[in-house]
Amino acid sequence: MVKRQVTVSAPGKLFLLGEHAVVFDGHALLTAVDSRLRLRLTYDSEAEAKLKIHAPDIGLEHWESPLAEVLNRETYTGKSSFIESCFRLFHEQMPLHGCFSVRTQSDFGAELGLGSSSAVVAATLYALSQIFSSNLDRMTLFEMGLQAIQRVQTLGSGADLATAIFGGTIYYVNRVPRRVVQLSVDALPLLLVYSEAKAGTVNLVKQVQARYHQYPAIIEPIIHAMLNVVERGKSAIEAQDWPTLGELMYIQHGLLHALGVDTQALADIVFTAKMHGAYGAKLSGAGGGDCAIVLSAPEQQATLEDIFTKKSRRVLPFKPHADGVRIEALSL
Q: How many domains are there within the chain? A: 2
Residues 160 and 60 in one domain: yes
pLDDT > 80? residue 1: no
Exactly one of 25, 34, 160, 290 is catalytic; name it: 160
pLDDT band at 154 (very low <50, low <70, confident <90, very high): confident
pLDDT confidence tier of residue 111, bands split at 50, 70 and 90: low
> Which residues span the domain enclosing 98?
3-184+321-331
- Tell me, yes or no, if 241 is annotated catalytic: no
CA distance 83 to 118: 10
Same domain, 198 and 177: no
Residues 218 and 130 in one domain: no
In angstroms, rounded to a whole number, what is the distance separating the alpha carbons of residues 13 and 170?
10
Residues 117-143: tens digit of each pLDDT: 999 999 999 999 999 988 889 999 999
Do residues 37 and 124 both lie within one domain?
yes
pLDDT per residue as tens digits for the range 177-199: 999 999 998 889 999 999 988 77
Q: What is the mean pLDDT of residues 105-112?
A: 73
Which of these, 40, 18, 16, 37, lies nearest to 28 by C-alpha position?
A: 18
Average pLDDT in the 222-231 region? 98
281: which strand partners?
294
Q: How far is it, in rounded angstroms, from Cα 36 to Cα 328? A: 11
Find, among 177, 164, 149, 287, the residue nearest to 226 by Cα.
Answer: 287
Quick one: 258 and 272 in the same domain? yes
Residues 202 and 107 in one domain: no
pLDDT at 149: 94
Residues 108 and 217 in one domain: no
Q: Do the beta carbons of residue 281 and residue 250 sit within 8 Å?
A: yes
Domain at 249, CATH number: 3.30.70.890
Q: Are residues 147 and 213 in the same domain?
A: no
Residues 138 and 272 in one domain: no
- Answer whether residue 67 shows pLDDT above 90: yes
**Closest listed residue to residue 199, CA positions, set 285, 281, 267:** 285
Does pLDDT of 323 surpass 70? yes
| Same domain, residue pair 325 and 309 | no
Whether 124 and 66 have beta carbons less than 8 Å apart is answered as no
Report the CATH number that the domain containing residue 46 is assigned in CATH: 3.30.230.10
**Angle in degrees, CA 255, 260, 264, rounded to 5:** 95
Tell whether 237 and 174 lie within a shared domain. Answer: no
Question: Would you mind telling me the total number of residues written for the chain in this entry?
Answer: 332
Are residue 205 and residue 164 in the same domain, yes or no? no
What's the mean pLDDT when you consider all of the chain?
Answer: 93
How far is the C-alpha of 294 from the C-alpha of 299, rounded, in Å? 13
- Strand-pair category, 50-55 with 99-106: parallel
